[in-house]
């Protein structure tokens, strides 16, 4: 398994955990929105093996009045979510189409579906990614590649959020933040779906989350 | 397990199959869009046990020019899909809310999302059902009830379609019709989702189906 | 012009106002969801003249927990919004298709697009109507009939709301409730659109209304 | 009036036509996706006058397999449609918010709503623009700025299309391509809407166009 990201420490932590469970894994450092890095990630991941499952999962967000939203910040979120997703998806598809199999998944958010006030940069990036995912699904489904888009609507029970809002778990109560293993399980279930009944899009949301 | 439907023979066939696998099951005959029947179905299903999973699954469709679409036919599809779904969902919720648990699922179609020419009656009924499912999810999620809507977009590999279009399997090729066990697996996966990451809506579609 | 509705007094008031402006108008009393009444409304409206513009505009709403939502109340809203809209639309189309011209418009609401908690009956009815409108647009557009669906998202500055919430105008401030003439203007603009650039759906919303 | 674009000749042609009707107009040359140009366009347009109506209208499209879609081409469409729209919208809003009035409109397409096979770059760019438009509408509506997104679904009866497909008018028949004046009329009607009944999104489509 290959775990790629911009921060070596994070990728290594995940790889260590996978190895501790007795599986092999490899950490790669780079930026998925840089074409050469996206190429390298998939080149390594597919070397001497079938490429089974590829996930693009970017999470940065920001809140600004549009009046103060900087051009570079607007562009940065697009690079991370939309351009990175496109490049990872394209590189994955280039290797999966010859195989005639594989799953490509993208992580979306409620911002994928609507642009709320204050979140123009994020929503533009995620809406763009969703369009890419749809276009890929329509092109590659008939070639045996399962392309899926997962709309995560809620806080994720992980280090990023908990460090930023220390008492968020108490605030939200039991099951109020998305459990990371539950998210992973949803991706896994997409991967093992029978090809006669593939899901392109699903949402994941804590039970008590308003929507 | 309770299997309810308008046709005794169909319900009994399903029940026999469940029993042959060593499980207990019971066939009920009635019309889910008749309030007393919906009540009875859920009353039996919940008697002396926790009500775990309830599915409303109606499939009738029709094609007409709106110019020739009869009022009674328009109404009939609404009764079957939308009113029946509402009554089954309400009766299920009335029993699940006191439990604080349970899954209620509805079967949708691509017509749930858009009204194509020729399918006004079906689309109106299925779009109405989808609205009911959303409204239920928003009301009952915070009470511990998982409400889901599954958009089935494609032909189902079952008796109804195969009898109507005998060579449909050959026409569509391998995996070209939705496998019934794959559909059932999708419902099952919804039922066992962790409550911190529930799906309200997903689509199911054969790999090569245009959309 | 024909003004039809269930309440004679309301229809007459509107007709009187139209006549006071020097136009001819006629009040009809009946229920658009009753087939014979829908037939009669359109028969009168098209007698000895081209049928130019037909609007179905129903406004009843209700708020209930689904647990307490009565089957008859659920059905009643469907009759008013969805069945009534279908029948009026069908009767209009039967007369407009031979002409090769005309506009059929339906009034929707934010409930047409999503089922909020507490509004299952309304949302199911309005979502169904929206599906009917789409299906009609796809069937009748190519026959020269313009079918439109207007999503009204906000309170309407009319007797119904003001009687129910007497200080609503002050609460919402200037332009905070939809002006009835502004709504009428939107319908009129739909009617006079060039057929090379028809709108099927638009939303109307007060400037400061959250959405 | 200010007409800005990347091609001087086109802008001048439009300006000449406006002047021939007795109005004053000014041509500006530049690239709306370059921050300094977007700034300059709006600075000139608002100099010594109220900024009434601003339209971002970009039309480039391309068709590729994702397997062969170049990173730079993917990025280029995003710059033109999404980044350019954001910058023009932001610069317009910076000048309109202090006024407390004005209309900002964006041109979308059916690709704004769904990613078809072969159109990933266009759909990603237009979906991103739509999210920006929604976010702007939600932020600036309550400040008196009307933000609208127009989904143009069909071929436009203009030089670009007619030069590329010489017999397209005959192919599509009367009213089969969107008339440019009809499109302009739709934007105008958005601009003059009463603020109690503003439209955020509408579609424009030739009468016989399938959708």
Give per-residue pLDDT as tens, C135-152: 999 999 999 999 999 999
Among B residues 53-82, those touching chain A with beta carbons less than 8 Å apart: none
Cβ C55 vs Cβ C102: under 8 Å: no
pLDDT exceeds cutoff 90 at B59: no
Place of tokens 């195989």: A99
Residues of A with CB below 8 A from D93's CB? 66-67
What is the band of B142 on the pLDDT scale with cuts at 50, 70, 90?
very high
Chain-chain contact of A186 with B206 (C-beta, under 8 angstroms): no
Q: Does B180 touch chain A (CB under 8 A)?
A: no
Q: B131, C127: Cβ pair inside 8 Å?
A: yes
pLDDT, one tens digit per residue, over D42-78 is 999 999 999 999 999 998 999 999 999 999 999 999 9
| Residue found under tokens 């529930």 | B198
Contact by Cβ (8 Å): C180, C162: no
Q: Do B134 and C123 touch (CB under 8 A)?
A: yes
Q: Report whether pLDDT(A30) > 90.
A: yes
Rounded to whole angstroms, how far apart are CA atoms B65 and B63?
7
Smallest Cβ–Cβ distance between A196 and the set B178, B194, B200 belongs to B178
pLDDT at B96: 98
Q: Is B93 helix (H, G, I), strand (E, B) or coil?
A: helix
pLDDT score recorded for residue D143: 98
- Sequence-ordered strand ranges (E) for B32-145: 53-56, 103-109
* Helix, strand, coil percentages, rounded to 5, for chain A: 50, 15, 35
- Summarised one tens digit per residue, pLDDT across range C164-175 is 999 999 999 999
CA D154/CA D156 separation, integer angstroms = 6
Tokens of B92: 């299920």
Is C135's Cβ below 8 Å from some Cβ in D? Answer: no
CB-CB neighbours of B83 under 10 Å: 25
Number of H-type helices and E-type strands within chain A:
8, 6
Q: Write down the pLDDT at residue C191.
A: 98
Looking at residues C27-32, what average pLDDT do you find? 97
- Over chain D (211 residues), the average pLDDT of each successive run of 10 is 95 96 96 98 97 96 97 98 98 98 98 98 98 98 98 95 94 97 98 98 98 96
Chain D nearest C-alpha distance from C165 (Å)? 18
Cα distances (Å, whole numbers) of residue A124 to A173, C13, D13, D128, D167: 31, 49, 33, 4, 37
Rounded to an integer, the average pLDDT of B155-168 is 93
How far is C149 from chain D, CA to nearest CA, in Å? 10
Phi and psi, residue B60, nearest 5°: -60, 145
d(CA D174, CA C194): 11
In terms of CA atoms, which chain C residue is nearest residue D143?
Answer: C208
| pLDDT at residue D81 in the model | 98
Three-state SS annotation for chain C? CEEEECCHHHHHHHHHHHHHCCCCCEEEECCCCCHHHHHHHHHHHHCCCCCCEEEECCCCCCCCCHHHCCHHHHHHHHHHHHHHHHHHHHHHHHHHHHHCCCEEEEEEEHHHCCCCCCCHHHHHHHHHHHHHHHHHHHHHHHHCCEEEEEEECCCECCHHHHHHCCCHHHHHCCCCCECHHHHHHHHHHHHHCCCCCECCEEEEECCCCCC
What percentage of residues in chain C have a pLDDT greater than 70?
Answer: 100
Is residue B106 within 8 A of residue A172, CB to CB? The reply is no
Phi and psi dihedrals of D77, rounded to 5? -65, -40
Please, what is the average pLDDT of chain B? 97
The C-alpha of C100 sits at a distance from chain D's nearest C-alpha, in angstroms, of 12
Q: Which two tokens stand for residue D108?
A: 């979308």
Q: What's the confidence (pLDDT) of residue B54?
A: 98
Angle (CA) C168-C173-C177 rounded to 5° is 60
CB A105 within 8 A of CB A58: no
Chain C: give the shortest CA distance to residue B117, in Å.
Answer: 5
pLDDT, tens digit, for every residue of A104-162?
999 999 999 999 999 999 999 999 999 999 999 999 999 999 999 999 999 999 988 99
pLDDT tens profile C63-98: 999 999 999 999 999 999 999 999 999 999 999 999
Question: What pLDDT, on the 0 to 100 scale, is given for residue B151?
Answer: 98
* C186, C144 Cβ separation under 8 angstroms: no
Share of chain A above pLDDT 70, in %: 100
State residue A59's pLDDT score. Answer: 87
Q: Which of B66, B125, B135 sits opposite C139 (nearest CB)?
A: B66
Contacts of D190 in chain C (CB under 8 A): none
Question: Taking CB atoms and an 8 Å limit, are A131 and D115 in contact across chains?
Answer: yes
Quote the mean pLDDT of chain A: 97
What is the residue-averaged pLDDT of chain C?
97
- What six digits make up the tokens of D76? 């280029």
Chain C residues with beta carbon closer than 8 angstroms to that of B139: 65-66, 117-118, 120
pLDDT at residue number C39: 98
Nearest C-alpha neighbor of A178 from the set B29, B198, C125, D3: B198
- In this prediction, residue B49 carries a pLDDT of 96
Does D94 sit within 8 Å of A67, measured CB to CB? yes
Alpha-carbon gap, residue A186 to B56, rounded angstroms:
23
Please report, rounded to a whole number, the percentage of residues in chain A having pLDDT higher than 90. Answer: 99
Q: Rounded to whole angstroms, how far apart are CA atoms A3 and A12?
A: 8
In chain C, the residue whose alpha carbon lies closest to the alpha carbon of D152 is C197
Is D136:D148 a contact under the CB 8 Å cutoff? Answer: no
Instruction: Report whether pLDDT(A17) > 90.
Output: yes
Give the per-residue pLDDT at D59. 87
* CB of B27 less than 8 A from some CB of A: no
Contact C194/D at CB under 8 A: yes
**Long-range contacts, A2-8 (Cβ 8 Å, 24+):** A2/A26, A2/A27, A2/A28, A2/A41, A2/A44, A2/A45, A3/A27, A3/A28, A4/A28, A4/A29, A4/A30, A4/A32, A4/A37, A4/A41, A5/A29, A6/A30, A6/A31
The 10 Å CB-count burial string (b at 16+, else e) for C16-53 is: eebeeeeeebebbbbbbbbbebbbebbeebbeeeebeb
- 3-class DSSP state of B186: helix
Q: Is A196 on the interface with B (CB under 8 A)?
A: yes
- E strand map for chain D: 2-5, 26-29, 53-56, 103-109, 146-152, 201-204
Q: What percent of chain B has pLDDT over 90?
A: 99
CA distance C52 to B192: 55
Confidence category of residue A52, pLDDT binned at 50, 70, 90: very high
Where do we find the tokens 């979906």?
D127
Contact assignment for C177 to D185 by CB distance below 8 Å: no
CB contact (8 A) between residue A175 and residue B194: yes
In 3-state terms chain B splits into helix, strand, coil percentages (rounded to 5) of 50, 15, 35
Burial D18-51 (b: 16+ CB within 10 A, else e): beeeeeebebbbbbbbbbebbbebbeebbeeeeb
Longest dimension (CA), chain D: 51
pLDDT class of B39 with cuts at 50, 70, 90: very high
Q: Tell me, what DSSP letter sits at residue A188?
A: H
Distance CA B138, CA C118 (A): 9
Read off φ and ψ for residue D107, nearest 5 degrees: -95, 120
Shortest Cα–Cα distance, A103 to chain D (Å): 16
Residue in chain B lying closest to A147 (CA): B207
């Amino acid at each position: 398994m290959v775990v790629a990201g911009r921060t070596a420490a994070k990728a290594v932590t995940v790889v260590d955990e996978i190895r501790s469970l007795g599986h092999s894994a490899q950490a790669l450092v780079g930026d998925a929105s840089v074409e050469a890095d996206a190429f390298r990630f998939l080149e390594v991941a597919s070397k001497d093996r079938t490429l089974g499952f590829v996930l693009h999962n970017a999470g940065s967000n920001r809140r600004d009045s549009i009046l103060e939203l900087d051009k570079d910040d607007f562009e940065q979120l697009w690079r991370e979510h939309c351009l990175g997703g496109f490049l990872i998806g394209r590189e994955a598809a280039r290797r999966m189409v010859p195989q005639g199999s594989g799953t490509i998944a993208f992580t979306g958010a409620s911002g994928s579906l609507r642009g709320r006030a204050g979140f123009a940069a994020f929503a533009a990036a995620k809406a763009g990614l969703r369009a890419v995912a749809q276009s890929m699904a329509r092109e590659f489904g008939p070639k045996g590649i399962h392309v899926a888009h997962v709309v995560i609507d809620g806080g994720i029970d992980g280090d990023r959020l908990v460090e930023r809002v220390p008492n968020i778990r108490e605030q939200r109560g039991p099951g109020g933040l998305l459990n990371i293993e539950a998210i992973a399980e949803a991706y896994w279930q997409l991967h093992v779906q029978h090809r006669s009944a593939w899901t392109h899009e699903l949402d994941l949301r804590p039970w008590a989350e308003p929507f």
